Amino acid sequence: MSAAVEAGMPGNPEDLLRQVFGYSAFRGRQREIIDHVGDGGHALVLMPTGGGKSLCYQVPALMRPGTAIVVSPLIALMRDQVEALRHNGVAAAVLNSSLDAETRRRTEQDLIEGRLDLLYIAPERLLRESTLRMFERCEINLLAIDEAHCVSQWGHDFRPEYLKLDVLARRFPQVPRIALTATADHRTRGEIVERLLGREARVFVDSFDRPNIRYTVGLKRNARQQLLSFIRRRHPGQSGIVYCFSRRKTEETAGFLVEQGLDALSYHAGMGSAERQAAQDRFINEDGLIICATIAFGMGIDKPDVRFVAHLDLPKSIESYYQETGRAGRDGLPADAWMVYSLADVVRIRQLLEQSNAGDEQKKLERERLEALLAYCEQAGCRRPALLGYFGENHPGNCGHCDNCQDPPETWDATEAARMALSCVYRTGQRFGAGHVIDVLTGKSTERAEQLGHDRLSTWAIGRDTDRSTWHSVLRQLLAAGYLVPDPEGHGGLRLGADCRALLRGETDIEMRRDAVPSSRKSRSKKAVDIDTESPLWQALRQWRLETARSEEVPPYVIFHDATLAAIVEARPQTLDELADISGVGEHKLARYGEAVIRTLDGADD
């Protein structure tokens, strides 16, 4: 039983928040949710990654006698959460297949004898008849189902065992159930309510905006070099994830970063599981490692201090982009979502889609998803309305914290240029790639143009007053908007898309963004994190945290988050009382680390 409950403290949410977790106020709808399940109601909680879902069941778990059961499919994540809770003095434990028999037996004994506040369990184990019987003998005060979207058969993370969790409603009808997810779409929402909660459940939706993330989408020129200068400029020595499309590219990118003196590793499904585990462990336990990965990496990684997520290739959809970039900045400190892409990427991804074995209906859906993503990329205004609009949320724009707000792109009336490009594609027979189309537009004599007689076409050299890179930009944006499509045979040829008639006939106009010239001078020196990483106090605290984490064999953020260390540097507490006021310092951590923190501050000459 937790110290707070044991000491006979009232199960008041505010007191628990302050004393156990060291936080001064609830965020968003946390308090409402806690009251609702505290009163015995069922709840569906939709919050973005980093929104603070865990407290929505951890606090109610401590408010009443008994044990809360938390179902989670992710073993690494359960272990981390339990570790973090124990460091706050909460009696938490985990039951999963990774335990030895002795530990399992002891945990079950603790549960039956009422010594646990929270028990984390994998769905397979929970569903065993023996486990359910054991629970029936205990005082269960709450059933929390994490990653609840796993119940959706249409989603990426479907887990068949989740469907069977409906047994909980039958076997424990009196116990409040709370299901939590960061997946926002309506269909999934409905499925969770129907399968796991029942109609009387209340649905709590938080804004999916992640205000601390700065979104940037740029044009790919020399991708690796762009990545390198982005990391050097904004995140030297910090943790980040770089997503690449292929296994080979993850290795090449990691190799390149290491050559440049950065600490980087690759990660993909082709690696052995031991090697993958080692990479993941290093990422979690170290402070400044960069992982270059395919999308195989990330699910179940709960590292709060990932400072950037970079995409060297386009993600599959806005959902994927949101989910992948969402792994940055869970601790609420500034973080970057950075992406570069090119005309070739758009062609490649469209081709993959057309060549896939999916049925027509499915292809149409995927085409729409891709178009939404491309529209987001080519967006000239604030990124947030485009991103959040996709999830049905209104954002007023002008967020001030995305590339387009901070550095508005120029736009131009590209109607005439677009028409020229489309006619040229048409006249050359809808078979050629961007290179040849641009040759014809600009009147560049080549053997091929001569042989094919393209130098005698009416569109020959009609675009000679515009430079090649602008033509590239025009073709890319036409592709992004679906006015052009790649040929289905996959040779990189371009064809007219279905909607281009109106444009060709002059019935609609088209605005395009002018591609920014890449500049390494722009916004230099602006570091994303308002942590003074040079400060001796910060360095000393980090060193202390690292040593402590090593000796306790936990990740550094289990001791204190970056946000807490930064607040300590800022406030420079001299006494334990002053330290206790800092967000993230609960009673348990104060007792355990308070003296050491004060000593470390005293020892660091600043």
The binding site for ligand ADP (CB under 6 A) comprises 23, 26-27, 30, 47, 49-55, 304, 330-332, 561, 583
Q: Which stretch in 138-146, 248-256, 322-330, 400-408 sits in contact with Zn ion by CB under 5 A?
A: 400-408
Q: Which stretch in 173-181, 379-387, 423-431, 434-442 sits in contact with Zn ion by CB under 5 A?
A: 379-387
Q: Quick check: 409 binds Zn ion (CB under 5 A)?
A: no
Run of H or E residues at 37: helix 30-38
Q: Which of 126, 382, 500, 549 binds Zn ion (CB under 5 A)?
A: 382
CB of 93: closest distance to ligand ADP in angstroms? 19
Strands 484-486 and 494-496: antiparallel
For 102-201, strand residue ranges (E) read 118-121, 140-145, 177-181
Phi, psi (rounded to 5 degrees) for 298:
130, -40
Q: Which of 85, 347, 372, 402 binds Zn ion (CB under 5 A)?
A: 402
CB-nearer residue toward Zn ion: 1 or 405: 405
534 alpha-carbon distance from chain centroid = 28
Q: Looking at this protein, which amino acid is placed at residue 555?
A: P
Contact present, 209 and 384 (Cβ < 8 Å):
yes
Residues 6 or more apart from 291 whose CB is under 8 A from it? 240, 241, 242, 254, 264, 265, 266, 267, 279, 283, 297
Q: What does the alpha-carbon distance between residue 305 and residue 406 come to, in Å, rounded to a whole number? A: 24
56 alpha-carbon distance from chain centroid = 20
Q: Residue with CB nearest ligand ADP?
A: 52
CB of 28: closest distance to Zn ion in angstroms? 21
Q: Quick check: 405 binds Zn ion (CB under 5 A)?
A: yes
CB-nearer residue toward ligand ADP: 57 or 230: 57
399 binds, among Zn ion, ligand ADP, none (CB under 5 to 8 A by kind): Zn ion
CB of 49: closest distance to ligand ADP in angstroms? 4
Phi, psi (rounded to 5 degrees) for 515:
-65, 130
382 binds, among Zn ion, ligand ADP, none (CB under 5 to 8 A by kind): Zn ion
58 binds, among Zn ion, ligand ADP, none (CB under 5 to 8 A by kind): none
Q: Which among 589, 569, 344 is positioned nearest to 479, based on CA atoms? A: 344
Q: Which stretch in 25-33, 326-334, 393-401, 495-503 sits in contact with Zn ion by CB under 5 A?
A: 393-401
Q: Tell me the three state secondary structure of residue 131.
A: helix
CB of 57: closest distance to ligand ADP in angstroms? 10
Q: Which stretch in 59-67, 93-101, 360-368, 404-412 sits in contact with Zn ion by CB under 5 A?
A: 404-412
402 binds, among ligand ADP, Zn ion, none (CB under 5 to 8 A by kind): Zn ion
CB of 129: closest distance to ligand ADP in angstroms? 30
CB-nearer residue toward ligand ADP: 56 or 399: 56
Query: CA 24, 41, 301, 126: dihedral to nearest 10 degrees?
Result: 130
Q: What does the alpha-carbon distance between residue 432 and residue 475 come to, in Å, rounded to a whole number? A: 12
Q: Which among 103, 31, 3, 1 is positioned nearest to 586, based on CA atoms? A: 3
Contact present, 199 and 193 (Cβ < 8 Å):
yes
CB of 584: closest distance to ligand ADP in angstroms? 7
Contact present, 384 and 395 (Cβ < 8 Å):
yes
CB-nearer residue toward ligand ADP: 77 or 134: 77
CB of 213: closest distance to Zn ion in angstroms? 11
User: What residues numbered 81-120 form the site for Zn ion, per CB under 5 A?
Assistant: none
CB of 386: closest distance to Zn ion in angstroms? 9
Strands 118-121 and 92-95: parallel
Q: What does the alpha-carbon distance between residue 514 and residue 161 come to, in Å, rounded to a whole number? A: 50
Q: Which among 62, 74, 75, 68 is positioned nearest to 111, based on CA atoms? A: 68
CB of 115: closest distance to Zn ion in angstroms? 50
561 binds, among Zn ion, ligand ADP, none (CB under 5 to 8 A by kind): ligand ADP
Q: Which of 335, 399, 549, 585 binds Zn ion (CB under 5 A)?
A: 399
Residues forming contacts to Zn ion in the complex (CB under 5 A) are 382, 399, 402, 405
